[in-house]
Amino acid sequence: MSAMKNDAITGRDVDFAQWYTDVCRKAELMDYGSVKGFIDYLPYGYAIWEEIQSYLNRRFKAIGTENVYLPTLIPSSLFNKEKEHVEGFAPETLVCTIGGGKELDDPLIVRPTSEVLFSDMYRRIVGSYRDLPKIYNQWCSVVRWEKTTRPFLRGAEFLWQEGHCLFETGEEARKNVQDVLDIYYELGRDVLAIPFLKGRKTEREKFAGAEATYTVEALMHDGKALQCGTSHYFGTGFSEAYGISFQGRANRLEAPHYTTWGVSTRLIGAIIMVHGDDNGLVLPPYVAPIQVAIIPIRQKTPGVLEAARKLKDDLLAAGIRAKLDEDDSKTPGWKFSEYEMKGVPVRIEVGPRDLEKGECTLARRVDGEKKTMPIGEVTSQIKGVLSEIHEKMLSLALESRLSRTREARSIEELDEALSQGGFCKMAFCGKEECELRIKEITNGGTARCIAEVVPAEGTLCPVCGEPATIVCYFAKAY
Amino acid sequence: MSAMKNDAITGRDVDFAQWYTDVCRKAELMDYGSVKGFIDYLPYGYAIWEEIQSYLNRRFKAIGTENVYLPTLIPSSLFNKEKEHVEGFAPETLVCTIGGGKELDDPLIVRPTSEVLFSDMYRRIVGSYRDLPKIYNQWCSVVRWEKTTRPFLRGAEFLWQEGHCLFETGEEARKNVQDVLDIYYELGRDVLAIPFLKGRKTEREKFAGAEATYTVEALMHDGKALQCGTSHYFGTGFSEAYGISFQGRANRLEAPHYTTWGVSTRLIGAIIMVHGDDNGLVLPPYVAPIQVAIIPIRQKTPGVLEAARKLKDDLLAAGIRAKLDEDDSKTPGWKFSEYEMKGVPVRIEVGPRDLEKGECTLARRVDGEKKTMPIGEVTSQIKGVLSEIHEKMLSLALESRLSRTREARSIEELDEALSQGGFCKMAFCGKEECELRIKEITNGGTARCIAEVVPAEGTLCPVCGEPATIVCYFAKAY
C-alpha cells in the first residue's frame, strides 16, 4: 500500500471508475481482502461508518428503535419457505454444508438479508397487541455472492443496518416508514452533505413483496444516480406468509404490519463520488475521521512543535478529531498532498512566521480557501469553520444536482437528457411495461423515484399514450 | 415469551444451571434462535453489550487502537496454512462449499477467529517500521460449531472484539498486552462491578502459540470460575509463520511482535452469574439498559402521572436511562417484580401519599434498601445513588470472592477446597504434567492464573516434589 502512496490519482474525468478505485485504496479506506470479492474495511474507511452508525443510532433511538443481533446463518429449510424471497436471493447465496467435519442435514445459508430470521423470531415472541410495536434494528454484515464487485458499491460482503418492525396498525407502520425516510434524508443533509432526492419507488422498482418502497437517491459526479437507502411498507402480507400473528384489542387474531429499512456502507461510496475531486477524497466534516490536520512548518524551530501540540490538545479537548503530524521524515508539502488526498476538511499550518504574530493558517479542503487566525482563537472558531465547510459542500452538491436535473416530454428528450448524465423528470403512466420500454430505449434509464408533483392536466404517457399518472425522476444508476 | 413472564424463577441454589437459563429468558436477554445452538440477542441483552462496547472503544482509542472490519469468511487454503491453528479450530468450523449455486474451488470457513485474516492483511500492508505499530481491533461475531451450548457462555455464534496488533519491539508489544489487560480489569472494577483476578496463565493454560497469555477471571455464584478476557503476547513467531515482515531502522528485514486480545458476550453471562439472585437479574448500574424504573402508584390520581413524567424527562435530560411504566393493565406490584427480575438498579415509586409531601420513594435492587427523597432532588442525587449501588455490588462480589478463596499446601487440601467451589491458592512447580495430574485428581481443577506472589522459600511442588516456582489460583471453571 505504501508503494502507491505518492503516485498520482487517475483524473476524475479521464476514467471515473479508475479514479474511484484509486481514491479508495490510496486514501486507505479499504484493501482487497484475502477472499476474492471481499474487502478489508481499513480504519479510515471504517471510522466513517462508525460516525454514520453513531448518528443513526441516536436518531433511531428517538423513534423507539432497539438494537438486536440475530444469527449470521439461516437454515435453508426456513430460507426456502417463501418463494418470492428465495427467487430474489438464491442465486447469490453462499451455503455451508459442513459443520464440525460432518455434512449438515439442513445446510446453512450465510445471511444475505435477515427478513426470514426476524419473521421467525417475531412468530415466537409476539403474542398480543401489548407486545407491539416491535421496532428492532440490527447492525451486521451480509454476504451476497456477487460476480462483479466494486469497493463499497457492490461487494460479496457489506456492512449495513436493517430495521424490521411490526405494528398493530397500518397507520403506525406507514409513519415508521416515513420517519426513517426522513432520518435518512437528514443524514444526507446534516451529516454527509449529500442532498438526497427522496420519494416513493414505482411499481417496477419497489422491493419484491412490498406495498410501497421509499428511497433516497443521490447524484454522483459522473452523472449516475446511486440508491442510498430504502424504507419499505409491507402491509400484513409478509407477516401472513411467515405466520406472525397477535391477539388484537377485539380479541381476534390479527397479522401485524411489517416495515423494513436499511442503509449500508454503500454510503461511503456515495461520499467519495459526490464530493471527491482530482486530488482525492473530500470528506464532509461530520463524518471525517480526521477533521483537522495540523502540519508544523520548520518544526525544529523552537516553539513550533509546542504550539502545534497545544493546539492539538485544545482541539481534542473541545471534541474535535484533530491530528498533528510530527513525522520529520516528510516535508510539509508531502503532508499537504497526503491530507488533501485523504480529504481532511481543515489543514492548519503552524510555522515560525505565523507564530511570531500569534497566528496560524487554516486551509479548507473543499475550496482551498486559506486564512490566518490567532492561534488562541482556533478552538473557539473551529466548530463554525467546520459548519461553514459542511454548508458549502452541501450547496455545491445541490447545485451540481439541480444543474443536471432536466425535464422531458418525450422519450427522445429523455434519452437525450440521460445520455448526458443527471436526473431527468418526466411524466408517464406508471405501468411496469412502459417503464421497461423506457429502460430499453434509453439504454438503462430507470425511474429513481416519484416526484412530489402531479402531471399537468392532459399529459399523456410518452410510451403508451394513455394519461400520465406520475412524474418520475429518471436516471442511469449504479 | 410473555407466557413465561409470571412463572417463578428456579431457585439459584436449587439448580444453578436452570436458574441461569430462566433468568436469560425471562429477563428477555436472549431467545433461542432459528438455528440450533444459535441465539437471538434481544434488545435487553444487546444493550448491555453496547454499553461494554462503548466503554471499551473509548479506552482502546486512548491507547491508539483503530477499528477495522475484515471478511466473515476465510479461504480454507489460507486457514490450513498454520498447523497449530488448524488443529485448534478445525473441529469446530462451519464450511461453505457452495456459492451462487456452484461448488467452490476453495471452500470458505465462517471465521471462528481472525488471526489468519489479520496476518494476511498485515503481510500486504506493512512494509516498513514507519507502518508500525498497527493497533487494530474488530467488533464482530464468530462462529464455532459447538455441540453443547449455553446462552452467552458457549454458543455456536457469539459477539466479541478481537485486537490484533503489530509492534516493532517486544517491549512495546508487552506494554500493549498489559495496557489491555488493565483495561479489562478496570472494565470489571468500574463498569461491571466484577472484581476480576488478573494474571498470567500457566504454560499449560496459555493460548497455543503464545509466548504469554494473561487473563481476567471471575468467580460465579456457584463457585466456578469464568475466564472473562485474555491478552496474548506472541513474540515474532506468529508473524514469521505468516510471512509478515518490515524493513527495520537498521535497514534489515524484521518480523513484528504480535499481540491479540479479546472479550466477548460471555461477559453478559458473568454479570448474570456474579450478581443475580433468586428474584432474577441484578444489573450493575453502568451497563443497565434501564437504570431507573419509575412506577406510578394510583396513577389515575390527578398529578401522579404528571409528576412521574416530569421526573422521567428530567432524568433522561440528565443522561440517565430512565423508563416510566404507565401500563395501567398491570398493578404496581406486578411491575415491582418485573423490574426486579430484570435487575433494574433503582425503582422509583411515585404515588399520591409521597407526592403530598413532595417526595417519592427510591428502592435499590441490590439490597432492597428504600428511602424517600424530595422528588425535586432526585435528578441531582441519582448519579450518587447509582455510584453507591455500583460500589456496593463491587464490594459484595469482592467479599464473595475473598471469602471463597482458600489456600492449600497439598493436593488433598486443594481437592477438598475445590470441592467446595471458589478459588484455591497453591504453589507448584509449574510443569504441564503436574498441572494435568492436579486436574485429574481434583476432578477438573485448573490453574486459572498465576498469583503475584512467589512461593515461600523451600516450598515443594505437591505433585512431583521438586521446588515450587509459582503460586497459582486454582478453580473449577466454565
Residue of A nearest to B74 (CA): A35
Return the residue of B nearest to A114 by Cα. B34
Over residues B12-40, mean pLDDT: 94
Q: Name the pLDDT band for B85 (thresholds 50, 70, 90).
A: low
For residue range A345-365, list pLDDT tens digits in order: 999 999 999 999 999 999 999
- pLDDT for A5 equals 40
Going by C-alpha positions, the residue among B11, B9, B425, B440 that lies closest to residue B222 is B11
Which amino acid would we find at residue B12? R
For cell 460465579, the residue is B220
Q: How far is A286 from chain B (nearest CA, A)?
A: 18
CB contact under 8 A, A110 and B73: yes
**Which of A160, A219, A193, A155 has the alpha carbon at shortest distance from A21?**
A155
pLDDT of residue B385: 98
Spell out a b/e string for A46-71, using b for 16 or more CB atoms within 10 Å of the CB, else e.
bbbbebbeebbbebbeeeebbbbbbb
Strands B212-219 and B225-233: antiparallel
pLDDT digits (tens, 9 = 90+) for B229-264: 999 999 999 899 889 999 999 999 999 999 999 999
Residues of B in contact with A324 (CB under 8 A): none
Q: Which H or E run includes B212?
A: strand B212-219
With pLDDT > 70 as the criterion, what percentage of chain A qualifies? 98
Q: Closest residue of A to B128, CA-based?
A: A2
Cβ distance of B143 and A73 shorter than 8 Å: yes
- State residue B7's pLDDT score: 62
Residue A34: pLDDT band (50, 70, 90) is confident
The answer to whether residue A16 scores a pLDDT higher than 50 is: yes
Q: Do A70 and B99 touch (CB under 8 A)?
A: no
Q: What's the whole-number average pLDDT of chain A?
A: 95
ipTM of the complex: 0.95
Best B1, B35, B119, B144 residue to mutate vs chain A (most A CBs within 10 Å): B35
pLDDT band at B373 (very low <50, low <70, confident <90, very high): very high
Strands B94-99 and B346-350: unpaired
* pLDDT of B361: 98
pLDDT in tens, A126-136: 999 999 999 99
Cβ <8 Å between B46 and A67: yes
Is residue B3 scored above 60 in pLDDT?
no
Q: Which residue's entry shows cell 410510451? A: A463
Nearest-Cα distance to chain B for A98, in Å, is 5
State pTM to two decimals.
0.95
Inspect the interface and report whether the beta carbons of A3 and B78 lie closer than 8 Å. no
- Summarize the confidence of residues B132-147 as an average pLDDT: 95
pLDDT tens per residue, range A85-113: 667 777 789 999 999 999 999 999 999 99
3-class secondary structure per residue, chain A: CCCCCCCCCCCCCCCHHHHHHHHHHHCCCEEECCCCCCEEECHHHHHHHHHHHHHHHHHHHHCCCEECECCCEEEHHHHCCCHHHHHHHHHHCEEEEEECCEEEEEEEEECCCCHHHHHHHHHHHCCEHHHCCEEEEEEEEEECCCCCCECCCECCEEEEEEEEEEECCHHHHHHHHHHHHHHHHHHHHHHHCCCCEEEECCCCCCCCCCCEEEEEEEECCCCCEEEEEEEEECCCHHHHHCCCCEECCCCCEECCEEEEEEEECHHHHHHHHHHCECCECCCCCCCCCCCEEEEECCCCCCCHHHHHHHHHHHHHHCCCCEEECCCCCCCHHHHHHHHHHCCCCEEEEECHHHHHCCEEEEEECCCCCEEEEEHHHHHHHHHHHHHHHHHHHHHHHHHHHHHCEEECCCHHHHHHHHHCCCEEEEEECCCHHHHHHHHHHCCCCEEEEECCCCCCCCCECCCCCCECCEEEEEECEC
Most B CBs within 10 Å: which of A51, A66, A68, as the mutation test of the B interface? A68
**pLDDT at position B4 over 80:** no
Number of alpha helices (DSSP H) and beta strands (DSSP E) in chain B: 14, 23
Residues of A in contact with B145 (CB under 8 A): 99-100
CA–CA dist B1, A393 (Å, integer): 50
